[in-house]
Structure 1
Amino acid sequence: MTQTPLSTPVPHPTTPPLAASARGLTKTYGRGDAQVHALRGVDLDLPAGRFTAVMGASGSGKSTLMHCLAGLDQPSAGSVSIAGTNLEALSDDALTRFRRDHVGFVFQAFNLLPMLTAGQNILLPHELAGRKVDADVRARYDEVSAILGITDRLGHRPGELSGGQQQRVAIARALVASPAIVFADEPTGNLDSDASAEVLGFLRRSVRELGQTVVMVTHELDAAAYADDVVVIADGAIRAHLVDPSAEQLVATLRPGGATR
């Protein structure tokens, strides 16, 4: 008897791995009549290898959300995990080591040491951690520097660089350790429009070409347009989580009374 060949099973679409997630995230400041609810039970998943912008007006809770997600601030309630590690389960020392090894930071202020060259600033976290700058680290350093367009500026000190170049050095410093996630807090806040566009373009390239996960807090629509996903927060709660939004969707969502989730 001839057997009918089994059909090839159709693979089910896989859910992309998460770089970070939050469940029931709450942050409260003060007591009694002075109590402020900065976050109100936030649930959020951040897929790996994506560029996510977190948007909101001043006082919306967006920076508090980033600080809790990054382990820089402790939530009043709820949980945060990065690359599968629950941050609340870590001691203070373990959390410091975890951030050093798995989380990158880019801030509005460049925070470069003026007496060091750009290249020395980029590698400084490795040296402070007592890690050897081996061939793999050097290869990553060369790759990141090339993508960020600063290869010819590595021997210059910060005072010899433009604002945009300094921010690119700060981004390279965050990327060189191959972190699970990079948090960028208003990274273009001190830059003019041309330098801002350059920096945002390079952040997007780090996602496309290095597979990096980037989460950027911003209040600027032009900046959010560079992202793959946009999370809109208002009054401490997620109002919308848009995947590959169009400019029209962004504008409509940010309008008072706009769409939710």
Structure 2
Amino acid sequence: MTTTSPPRTTLAAAARGLTKTYGRGDARVHALRGVDLDLPRGRFTAIMGPSGSGKSTLMHCLAGLEQADAGTITVGGTGLGTLDDDALTVFRREHIGFVFQAYNLLPMLTAEQNIVLPYELAGRRVEPAVTERARLLAETLGVADRLGHRPAELSGGQQQRVAIARALITEPDLLFADEPTGNLDSATSQEVLEQLRRSVDELGQTVVMVTHEPDAAAFADDVVTLADGRIA
């Protein structure tokens, strides 16, 4: 199953009236309470808030990893609510990239093989154009000289940069970064954040980062602050 390319708009994604609750009765938690949000294409947005504010839930809903109880989400012109489970899986693979606190690189593969892995998982051939893009991304992100190395031979910052390149290889409408510097020291964190910033400035990528760190959010164009499931 394949998805057709959605129309390009000035917004990478938009959410309207998102609500999400967990549990029942006295244990009921209102994670999102009617959230409206626009994510402009080609910008770096940070989502901030204390623990329990709903920032991770918002990211998971925007990425199609969780379903909101009410509201609508549009990514790249496609309404996520119009897709069945199979179509949503394909859409996520082709249009959404993820960078997590844990790098999730496969230890037996080289950096270059990890970067092109999304094509392998989709059962698609790694054409020369894909290899060329992988090398361009590696150069942009400062790991071009490490493409033949396996993850154990890379520093934490280099591993995270490889993970960013892997997330960008399919040219996604949105790149979600969930606390991407959580396992890194301050100097390496700054390097990774600078690379995310470069992916916006030099590659035109749209980045949405969940963070609780003001220093990290300072790299973003826009900062969205959540409190008790609402945009503060």
Cα distance in 2 for residues equivalent to 1:65 and 1:179: 19
Question: Please, what TM-score do these two structures have when normalized by structure 2?
Answer: 0.95
Cα distance in 1 for residues equivalent to 2:175 and 2:182: 17
Which of 69, 77, 85 is the aligned partner of 1:76?
A: 69
1:41: which partner in 2? 34
- Contact kept? 2:116, 2:131, Cα under 8 Å: no
1:213: which partner in 2? 206
Question: Please, what TM-score do these two structures have when normalized by structure 1?
Answer: 0.85
- Contact kept? 2:111, 2:162, Cα under 8 Å: yes
Write the letter of the residue equivalent to 2:12: A
Q: Which runs of 4+ in 1 moved over 4 A?
A: none
1:182: which partner in 2? 175
Deviates more, 1:127-136 or 1:199-208: 127-136
1:109: which partner in 2? 102
What is the aligned residue count? 224
Cα RMSD (Å): 0.8
1:192 aligns with 2:185: yes
1:98 aligns with 2:129: no
Write the letter of the residue equivalent to 1:86: G
Write the letter of the residue equivalent to 2:131: R
1:60: which partner in 2? 53
Write the letter of the residue equivalent to 1:213: T
Deviation at 1:230, TM superposition (A): 0.5
The percentage of counterpart residues that share the same residue type is 73
1:8-44 deviations in Å (ceiling 9; x for gaps): xxxxxxxx70001100000000111111000000000
Write the letter of the residue equivalent to 1:141: A
1:119 aligns with 2:112: yes
Deviation at 1:128, TM superposition (A): 1.2
Which of 5, 8, 17 is the aligned partner of 1:24?
A: 17
- Which of these two proteins has the greater Rg computed from alpha carbons? 1
1:197-256 deviations in Å (ceiling 9; x for gaps): 0000000000000000000000000000000110011100001xxxxxxxxxxxxxxxxx
Which of 131, 142, 146 is the aligned partner of 2:139?
A: 146
| Unaligned 5+ runs, structure 2 | 1-8
| Unaligned 5+ runs, structure 1 | 1-15, 240-261
1:11: which partner in 2? none
1:225: which partner in 2? 218
1:250: which partner in 2? none
Cα distance in 1 for residues equivalent to 2:110 and 2:128: 20
1:73-123 deviations in Å (ceiling 9; x for gaps): 111111111001010110000000000000000000000111111111111
| Structure with the larger RCO, 1 or 2 (CA within 8 Å, 6+ apart) | 2
Write the letter of the residue equivalent to 2:210: V
